Each structure stands twice: as structure tokens, then as C-alpha cells.
Amino acid sequence: MIAKPNDWVFSDPRLKEMKQEYEAYTEEDFKVWKILFERQIVNLPDAATKAYLEGIKEINFSSDRIADFEEVNQKLANTTGWAIQVVPGLIDDDLFFGLMFNKRFPSSTWLRKMEQLDYLEEPDMFHDAFAHMPMLTNQPYVDFLQQLSGIALKHIDNKMAIELISRIYWFTIEFGLIREEGELKIYGAGILSSAGETKFSLSEEPAHYQYDVRKILNTPYWKNKFQDKYFIIESYEQLFASLPEIESALEEMLEELTNKEQKIN
């Protein structure tokens, strides 16, 4: 295989020139944003990680204005150097990780309708913006995300490897918890955009485990109900520092799987 340049993703034909058309948002869109924003923001001062609370101030989101990606990009340029890349919705894994390896966070621009306030088949821009973008102001967090994407790109043709890396992404970026001053707080975006899971994830009901790369790699997840387990980090530096272990544990698991397959055949 010929190594692709790191920025191949920008000339990929699947990545159409897409922009957020701010003027196209309707009155209903503004209402939906406002309802979701106001309903969730009140839960977060006690529940969200400091990094998120500082981040949402930094990028200046409010209930009255749907997030404007141009403004977000200006703020991010001054903090971590990341930017938002508009995408049509769910995208192929190589594009997804390729963008993040190049410090571009893929986001959709459409908003759910009033009748879909609580259930969505795939993430809309309320999830992508409200829940993900504030965290993109935190340097060790984005460094982790970028390097994890780099590991994914190395294994992009191996379905099993991508499934295993997705478990790490899932139990950190989407559903991660952190301990801050002895208290559990949320940094996972899948929780931060859900009022129900915000309460549930911090309650006694689900299992809470210390962050453990190997355990996560062995833990399948589900997409359409609350998780039954969450993993707790102590700091974002811990995430970043775990990258070599992610890489070596992944390689060991893949080797074991290949050996098993060879025995069966």
C-alpha cells in the first residue's frame, strides 16, 4: 500500500464543499435549539466537567442563537487550532478519522424537528455543536482525539480494528466520565446532549469503572439505549498518556484474533 499524505482527506471527492447556511435556519429551528439548550444547560453546572463549562463560555453559545460555525472556528483557531468541517451526516470511517487527524471535527448542520426532541436516529447539529464543540477547546483532549484517529487510520482497512477503536471513542469521547475534586463529572458528548442520560450516568444505577484500555477494548457498546457501564478518567492528560497502551493492546488483540482464525481454518 502506498502511504497517503496526511492531508489526503481535503481532496477526497466524498468531501463536497459544504457550508453551514445560517440564513436557511427556520423559526422552528431556532425554537428547537432554544428548547434543547435551555432544557439541558440547567443540568450542567453540577454535572459537566470544568473543561466543558469553560469551553461553552469560551465559544459563546447561547439559547437564542443557533451555533454559528464561522464564529466557532474563530474561537477554536485561537485556542487549540481545530476547526469544524461540515459533513452531510454519518460519514465513512476513513473520512471521519482522516478529518480528525487533520484537526477538523465533522459536524452536520441540520437540526431535529420539534416532534423529534427526544429521539434521533443519527446525531444532529445540536448534539455535534452543543455537546462536542465546547470540548474542542481543551488541548489534551483534542490531542488525544487526533492521535486516536491516527491509530485508526493505520488500521483503516481492518474492520475488527476499527470496531475496537470505536469502543475507545465511544467510552471516552461520547460516554466518558471524569473525576474532578472527588466528584464524578461528564465529558462524553453523548451524555452531555441528553438530559436523561446526564442524570442516569451519574446515578448509582449503572456500573462505574476506572478507565482501563484493555477492559474498554473488550466491551461492546449499544447505540439506542443508555449505557449500563461508564469508564472514569482522572484527567485528560491520562487519556493522552494511554495512547501507546491503546496501540499495543490493539495490536495484541488483533494478533490473537488472526491466530484463532488460522487455527480454525
Q: Which is nearer to Fe ion, 101 or 130 (CB)?
A: 130
Closest contact distance (angstroms) between CB of 146 and Fe ion is 16
Q: Which is nearer to Fe ion, 84 or 189 (CB)?
A: 189
Closest contact distance (angstroms) between CB of 134 and Fe ion is 13
Closest contact distance (angstroms) between CB of 39 and Fe ion is 18
Closest contact distance (angstroms) between CB of 154 and Fe ion is 22
Residue number with the shortest CB distance to Fe ion? 189
With cell 488525544, the residue in question is: 144
What are the two backbone dihedrals, phi and then psi, of residue 180, each rounded to the nearest 5 degrees? -125, 125
Q: Rg (Cα) of the chain, in Å, rounded?
A: 19
Closest contact distance (angstroms) between CB of 128 and Fe ion is 6
Q: Across-strand partners of 200? A: none
Question: β-strand 183-186 against 177-180: which pairing, if any?
Answer: antiparallel
Q: Which is nearer to Fe ion, 25 or 96 (CB)?
A: 96
Closest contact distance (angstroms) between CB of 209 and Fe ion is 21
Q: Which is nearer to Fe ion, 194 or 242 (CB)?
A: 194
Cα angle: 14, vertex 17, 22; to 5 degrees:
130
Contact call for residues 76 and 137 (beta carbons, < 8 A): yes
Which residues of the chain form contacts with Fe ion (CB under 5 A)? 189
Q: Which is nearer to Fe ion, 7 or 122 (CB)?
A: 122
Q: Which is nearer to Fe ion, 20 or 107 (CB)?
A: 107
CA distance linking residue 29 with residue 38, whole number of Å: 14
Q: Which is nearer to Fe ion, 147 or 172 (CB)?
A: 172
Q: Which is nearer to Fe ion, 161 or 189 (CB)?
A: 189
Closest contact distance (angstroms) between CB of 10 and Fe ion is 22
Distances (CA, A) of 202 to 172, 198, 249: 15, 7, 29
Closest contact distance (angstroms) between CB of 30 and Fe ion is 22
> For the stretch 116-133, what's the b/e string if a residue is b when 16 or more beta carbons lie within 10 angstroms of its beta carbon?
eeeeeeebbbbbbbbbbb
CA distance linking residue 148 with residue 45, whole number of Å: 29
Set of cell numbers at residue 28: 422552528
- H/E element, 28: helix 27-41
Contact call for residues 76 and 136 (beta carbons, < 8 A): yes
CA distance linking residue 1 with residue 191, whole number of Å: 39
Which residue type occupies 69? F
